[in-house]
Amino acid sequence: MLFTPNPDKTFHRGATDYFSTERKADIGAFDTPAFVGVPLGTVTRVGPDCFELEASEPLANGDGLTYLYKREVFGIQANRAERAGKFWRVWPNEPVGSLPGLKAGTALSRNRDHAWDQALTKKSAERRIDVSACFGESADGFTLRLQDSDGISVTASIVFDRQPAQNPAEAEAALREQLARFGTTIFALQHLDIAWSQPWFVPSSVANKLRRDAVEQLEAARLRAYVRPARKPAVEPPVAYPEETLSYLANVYNQAARAFYARHGVKLIEAAYEAHEEAGEVSRMITKHCLRYSFSLCPKQAKGVTGVQGQVRAEPMKLMNGKERLTLKFDCKACEMHVMGKMKKHVLNAPPVSVPVTFQRRSPGTLAGK
């Protein structure tokens, strides 16, 4: 069965393009902060101990199902799921009568896909490097040659007093079993040749050591053969930064960051917030998610509406975070909301930057012309 990745089947709290295409009515998921899963189908009938649904995908025992009732998410585990014609019949882990709001027409989602989880645990999801092996003889013992899919090969050897095997068939089968145990290494054995003049007695300890030594040599050989891609040459002259000034929001807090922006043409660079140079309230967060818009108080919403234009007022607006009061400022030209607040105590008490950085309040040209 071909495995098809699907990020929506793993835990997440929803996604949004966040205004990358156009402004939406709202980007918040106010129904629930829980992971409701992927839409699965609709309940068609509810019985005394089970219910039926029309599902878009097959179900399995152990699936986790969810549904929304009165703005609350309820979870069900499918103890048993069976196909019944074109529908699926589910026996949940709780009495059907105790599930509030579950009735015909209820939309169900799946937040735990048992078959999906099982597929992720199989070895087919692992990525290994294919190798071929050849076991042979040496003058004083045995050898094992490994060659990977990139053509890199190594040969490990071990000194051992060869003795004929009493049972040739069992001896070769046991040797193949021991040499094939690549376990948690990065390699996967695809082919094994045994080239000996006659079947020998090879203890498991000897075969295992020979395999481990060969694997270590191959890993080291791959590292030596690795050629790091050449770094692209730097663009000269450096590309100019779009702006000549940077506020504390650029978070420049060390000399390396300051030198980077200066190299790209920025003339005025303010210190980062952690430098303790910003007095009073500052923008803790800048977001396109605007509460003015959510409450239908946006001046752009009222534009052209008779009797409303020019009358919309949304300030002052405050957010309460425990005992902390945060002021909301609105930059309508940039269509952004700023959450303003004073410097937190743990930031104020943080040690200063170890490498001294010189910041300028005015551009060098202004200072020179003074």
**Helix H or strand E segment including 8:** none
What does the pLDDT average to over 253-280? 86
61 pLDDT band, cuts 50/70/90, is: very high
Res. 326: pLDDT tops 80: yes
| pLDDT value, residue 342 | 81
Residues 130-143: pLDDT tens digits?
999 999 999 999 99
Q: Which residues 6+ apart lie within 8 Å of 45 measured at CB?
A: 51, 52, 87, 104
- For residues 101 and 11, which has the higher predicted lDDT (pLDDT)? 101
99 pLDDT band, cuts 50/70/90, is: very high
Res. 345: pLDDT tops 70: yes
Closest to 211 in 3D by CA, of 163, 176, 162, 172:
176
Encoded amino acid at 235, one letter: V
Whole-number Å distance between alpha carbons of 19 and 336: 11
What does the pLDDT average to over 207-214? 96
Q: Quote the mean pLDDT of the chain.
A: 85
Res. 359: pLDDT tops 80: no
What does the pLDDT average to over 94-101? 93
DSSP string, 30-61: -S-SS---EEEEEEEEE-SS-EEEEESS---T
**E strands in the chain:** 38-46, 51-55, 64-69, 72-84, 87-92, 107-112, 129-137, 141-148, 153-159, 187-195, 245-246, 268-269, 282-287, 317-321, 324-331, 336-341
| pLDDT value, residue 124 | 65
90 pLDDT band, cuts 50/70/90, is: very high
Res. 28: pLDDT tops 80: no
Res. 355: pLDDT tops 70: no
Whole-number Å distance between alpha carbons of 112 and 342: 43
DSSP string, 167-214: SHHHHHHHHHHHHT--TTSSEEEEEEEEE-SS-B---HHHHHHHHHHH
Q: Which structure tokens are listed for 162?
A: 């060869």
| pLDDT value, residue 369 | 41
Lowest-confidence segment of 58-67, 90-99, 157-166, 325-334 by average pLDDT: 325-334
Q: Which structure tokens are listed for 328?
A: 């909301």
**Helix H or strand E segment including 368:** helix 364-368
86 with 33: CB under 8 angstroms? no
Q: Which residues 6+ apart lie within 8 Å of 326 measured at CB?
A: 284, 318, 319, 320, 339, 340, 341
What does the pLDDT average to over 25-35? 67
Lowest-confidence segment of 73-82, 206-215, 306-315 by average pLDDT: 306-315
Res. 328: pLDDT tops 80: yes
Q: Determine if the peptide bond prior to 229 is cis (ω within 30°).
A: no
Whole-number Å distance between alpha carbons of 293 and 311: 15
Res. 123: pLDDT tops 80: no
| pLDDT value, residue 157 | 96
Whole-number Å distance between alpha carbons of 192 and 175: 10
Answering whether pTM is above 0.85, one says no
Lowest-confidence segment of 39-48, 95-104, 275-284 by average pLDDT: 275-284
Lowest-confidence segment of 167-176, 232-241, 247-256, 291-300 by average pLDDT: 291-300
Phi-psi region of 296 (alpha: psi -120 to 50; beta: other; left: phi over 0): left
What does the pLDDT average to over 285-313? 70
| pLDDT value, residue 365 | 47
Res. 366: pLDDT tops 70: no
Lowest-confidence segment of 52-66, 103-117, 156-170, 290-304 by average pLDDT: 290-304
In the chain, residues under CATH classification 2.40.10.170 are 7-121
Lowest-confidence segment of 17-31, 180-194, 247-261, 314-328 by average pLDDT: 17-31
CATH architecture of 7-121: Beta Barrel (2.40)
